[in-house]
Amino acid sequence: MNAAIPPEMVNPLKTPFLIHLPKHYCLLGSQNFLRFSSQPNFSPEFHPKDFPNLVSKVCEILGDFQWKRSSELKHLSPKLKPHHVAKILEIHKDSESALQFFCWVSQRPSYKHNLDCFIVLLKRLIHDRLFDPADNVRIRMIQSCNNEEEITRVMNFLNEISVKEFKFSLYSYKTLLIQLGKFDMVAAAQNVYKEMMSNGIEPNLFILNTVINILCKKGKVQEAKVVLSRIFQYDMKPDVYTYTSFILGHCKNNDLDSAFEVFNHMVKEECDPNSVTYTTLINGLCNDGRVDEALDMLEEMIEKKVDPTVYTYTVPVTTLCRIDRVKEACDLVADMRKRGCRPNVHTYTSLISGLFRSGKLEVAIGFYHKMLKDGLVPNTVTYNVLIKELCAGGKFEYALKIFYWMERRGSLPNAQTYNEIIEGFCLDGYIGKAMVLFNKMLKVGPSPTLITYNTLVNGYCKQGNLNNARRLVDLMKENGCEPDEWTYTELISGFCKWGKLDSVSTLFSEMLDRGLTPNEVTYTALIDGHCKEGKVDVALSLIERMEKHGCSPNVETYNAMINGLSKEKRLAEAQKLLDKMVEKGLLPNVVTYSTLVDGQCRNSGTHLAFQILDEMEKKDCPANLHTYSSLIYGLCQEGKAEDAETLIAEMERKGIFPDHVTYTSIIDGFSMLGRLDHAFSLLRRMISVGCKPNYRTYSVLVKGLQKECLLLEEKCVDATNSCSLGEMDINFEMVSSLLVRLKENGCEPTIETYSTLVSGLCREGKSYDADQLVASMVHKGLSPNEEIYNSLLIAYCKNLKVEPALEILNTMVSRGFKPQFVIYRALICALCKANRVEEAQTLFENMLSEQWNPDEIVWTILIDGLLKEGKPDTCMKFFHIMESRNCTLNFQTYLILARELSKEDKFIETDWVADRLRV
């Protein structure tokens, strides 16, 4: 809370930029000649073509002595805009009548003078030597300023028109100082104060307090003390406003001892502190982390019959929420309500944020609705808190509703709002929707930030769409946003995850060339990527390089390396690395131990893995799901499925619940032993606890059924050893047998069951079997879901079966599913390959009518689709269609398209694109 001075001086509006006036500012009282230009200084909204009829008609009416009673003028007044009024004030013959009209029109509903109106009238009044009304207009002009730019323009104008007889009055100086304080224009305020003193105008206490407050708000206490000396010089006494300003100044400088000295002196001088004095000290204590002392001062304030305001309560509430003392914050809000002090938007926002962070989501939402019930309108900060916390709590659907509601209500989202929603879309796998919002930011604002770009790069990388991730970085550079260490780390992690190590080397070199320093996360991603590709020795050399460049490996780095060595059966080296890690003072965590357990289990060493488990218990490092899953897998591979099953019971006793990997391993173990009935009972148990089987789960059951059939047919015990899982192939007949057996064992096949099986068959290239399975499903009265449609459609497209693919697309659309880019790309390319370009064009045009990012359309459909399929002519034809639809592309996208076309030897078309780059 600012110092206790009149309201117009409190809580100055912050502007996003600061215009620094010249150091030797031209004094307002300097003797300049009065100059008039032949043309008034109208703002850009001046439209001469609108003037003749309306302006001349109003001027004609004003010529009548009884013009205020004119019904015609009342009829015309709603049409009058500031540029009309400025022209009327300039050309009307009589200055006094013009002044009366100026006052009359300002009272019209929804009308407000702009600076041009003031400037024209003020010039006119000074020219006619009507100085008293001119001073009133000058004061009103200063008061009308809404920002720093406007007050700067006014001051420059007042310097221009300064004449000897038209000096600044005390009230004019006071008004100007208040406005300068409002916009934090400290240097300008000091210049005005010095000018006032040099002109011999004796300030009053209000003006001196104003200057002191302006200085103290910026922590300029020593300069404020010089002004304080004037108070004593003029035989005045400091009042509560004076003392409170100095308390504020000391708090701004984090000098609470001096602030309390002023407070104590104030009391000694019998100057009673008011609510703002206490609030300033309470805020200072909170900002210094002394919240308990702040609460004590709040109690003292109440005891002394000084009523706290909403500002008094809000900072302690905010501080308590920030340090996770949310219950006390709620109690404080309840107390303020009892005292008849209603929380404001800031109070509610802090409380809602604190409640979300402490996991009390429902209570937080309740306070949000209470806020609305109290008639308070949430601001962007409130919405951002709600959206951020809902996203973090996995309630993205609700966050999205708030975002759209916010847009409809005209509460403009800022970059943080967009970033939260974009991240939510990316986490849910809807990168296309995130890119639509990104496109909106580029077109209408707010401008994307580094966080926006990094979030989208990460979103593409997680989906494996690495080309678009790289293109986005190029776009980022083009738009003047420089990639940072995290941009490249996201890219390197993504390329490593998807096994594109050749590109990783290029990215790493590019990162270094740009002067960016790889951090431990970057190196760990590189090491993990090389380990997963079996390039363990390269990964070891990267650790050496990392240390050489002063970047110390962390636990995650060693875990990645130990995992790589374990998978390569280099277990002795993994143990040595663990020892080295401990020597460096890094404690192994559950991931480290679990990695070693997994390595032993995959190398028939479960007995050694259990020794590691014992060591974990001794080191007070409890095993997690991954540890137990590895042990269960190892035991099952060694034919010890029953021992593995006892581990599941142990897990559940410890509150660790098996996932689909755990269940699949043990189901596989019993299947290999020929105990299919028990395997199915485990599946039933798996489904009952809400754990969804995946394709691998069903596959091991199918192969178990195959073995069972072989045993029955051959009646040979050795059949178990003669057929391995890898030798068996899954088809529709086997899947049908599985479905029958599922039903017999109380696992009635659902849409999810069919969806998992169809998707798996399609991934294995068995679209014929998948098609039969879907037909069987439909025959049983079950409707395919979006995943089934997508899997089948892409499979049909790969086999150029465009008719059934088109049928699926139409069905999807009719059922309300919105096809993603991967669907459009697959179908458009398949149609073009089948020489059905016109149909592909119609589909492309339909796609353009929906909400998509035009750059992403070019990247995904044209470049990664048609160009990669060897269809450059069709690509350019579709590009022309986009252009005709006014799909605005980013400059960088044109460059990318030009580069890709040049690879196809399309020199003419490349020149054509180059022409557009020059436009």
Average pLDDT over residues 498-517: 92
CA distance 488 to 496: 12
Please tell us whether the domain made up of 380-497 is placed in CATH 3.90.180.10: no
Q: What would the pLDDT profile of 325-384 be if each residue is shown by its tens digit?
A: 999 999 999 999 998 899 999 999 989 888 888 888 888 888 888 888 888 888 888 888
Residues sharing a CB contact under 8 Å with residue 625, sequence separation 6 or more, in sequence order: 651, 656, 657, 658, 659, 662
Helices 695-714 & 676-688, crossing angle to 10 degrees? 160
CA angle, corner 406, sides to 401 and 409, nearest 5? 125
Indicate the residue type of 119: I
pLDDT at 905 (0 to 100): 65
* Amino acid at position 360, single letter: K
Q: What digits encode the pLDDT tens for the residues 603-634? A: 889 999 999 999 999 999 999 999 999 999 99
Distance CA 244, CA 212 (A): 10
The 10s digit of each residue's pLDDT in 51-103 is 467 888 998 888 888 898 888 998 888 889 999 999 999 998 888 999 999 99
How confident is the model at residue 879, as a pLDDT?
Answer: 93
Q: Compute the distance between CA of residue 192 and CA of residue 917 in angstroms, rounded to an integer.
A: 52
Report how far Cα 453 is from the mean position of its chain's Cα atoms.
Answer: 10
> What are residue 358's phi and psi, to 5 degrees?
-90, 10
- Residue that the structure tokens 């995992």 belong to: 563
CA distance 382 to 193: 39
Residue 108 phi/psi, 5-degree rounding, is: -70, 140
Helix, coil or strand: residue 903: helix
Contact in structure between 361 and 395 (CB atoms under 8 Å) = yes
The packing angle between helices 485-497 and 520-532, to 10°, is 10
| pLDDT one-digit tens code per residue, 207-235 | 999 999 999 999 999 999 999 999 999 99
Query: What's the CA gap between 511 and 513, in Å, rounded?
Result: 5
DSSP letter string, 30-64: S-PPP---SS----TT--GGGHHHHHHHHHHHHTS
Judged against a pLDDT cut of 90, whether residue 716 lies above it is answered with no
Q: Are 442 and 854 in contact (CB under 8 A)?
A: no
Instruction: Please check whether residue 789 is in contact with residue 817, taking contact to mean a CB–CB distance below 8 angstroms.
Output: yes
What's the 3-state SS for 680-709? HHHHHHHHHCCCCCCHHHHHHHHHHHHHHH
The mean pLDDT value for 521-544 works out to 93
Phi, psi of 539 (to 5 degrees): -65, -40
- Contact between 514 and 483 under an 8 Å Cβ cutoff? The reply is yes
Cα–Cα–Cα angle for 210, 215, 218, rounded to 5 degrees:
130
Q: What percent of the chain is modeled with pLDDT above 70?
A: 91
Here the tokens at position 18 are 């600061």
First vs last Cα of the chain: how many Å apart?
53
| Cα–Cα distance measured from residue 543 to residue 635, given in angstroms and rounded to the nearest whole number | 34
The whole-number pLDDT of residue 47 equals 43
Position 391 confidence tier, pLDDT thresholds 50, 70, 90? confident
* Helix axis angle, 751-763 to 732-744, nearest 10°: 160
Residue 434 contacts residue 456 (beta carbons within 8 Å): yes
Paired tokens of 265: 């002196």
* 371/188 Cα distance (integer angstroms): 40
Percentages (nearest 5) of helix, strand, coil residues in the chain: 70, 0, 30
- Contact of 63 with 93, CB cutoff 8 Å: yes
Decide if pLDDT at 42 tops 80.
no
Q: Supply 715's token pair.
A: 């009646």
- Spell out the residues 6+ positions from residue 861 whose beta carbon is closer than 8 angstroms to its own: 821, 824, 825, 828, 844, 847, 878
pLDDT at residue 899, as a whole number: 87
Q: Which residues contact 762 (CB under 8 A, 6 or more apart)?
A: 770, 791, 792, 794, 795
Residues with Cβ within 8 Å of 659's Cβ and at least 6 positions away in sequence, in order, are 625, 629, 691
Contacts of 508 (CB under 8 A, 6+ apart): 488, 492, 518, 522, 526
531-553 mean pLDDT: 92
As given in the structure block, the two tokens for residue 12 are: 């100055």
Cis peptide before 446 (omega within 30 of 0): yes
DSSP 861: I
Residue 4's pLDDT is: 35
Predicted confidence band of residue 14 (pLDDT cuts 50, 70, 90): very low
Question: What's the pLDDT at 915?
Answer: 63
By the 8 A CB rule, do 120 and 40 touch? yes
Q: Taking all residues of the chain, what is their mean pLDDT, rounded to a whole number?
A: 87
Question: Distance (Å, rounded) from C-alpha 177 to C-alpha 180?
Answer: 5
Report the pLDDT averaged over residues 431-446. Answer: 92
Q: Where are the beta strands (DSSP E) in 621-685?
A: none
Distance CA 651, CA 629 (A): 10
Tokens matching residue 696: 């691998």
How is residue 120 written in tokens?
């024209």
The confidence score (pLDDT) of residue 6 equals 34
Per-residue pLDDT for 147 more than 80? Answer: yes
Please, are residues 266 and 236 in contact by the beta-carbon 8 Å criterion? no
How far apart CA 894 and CA 120 sit, in angstroms, is 49
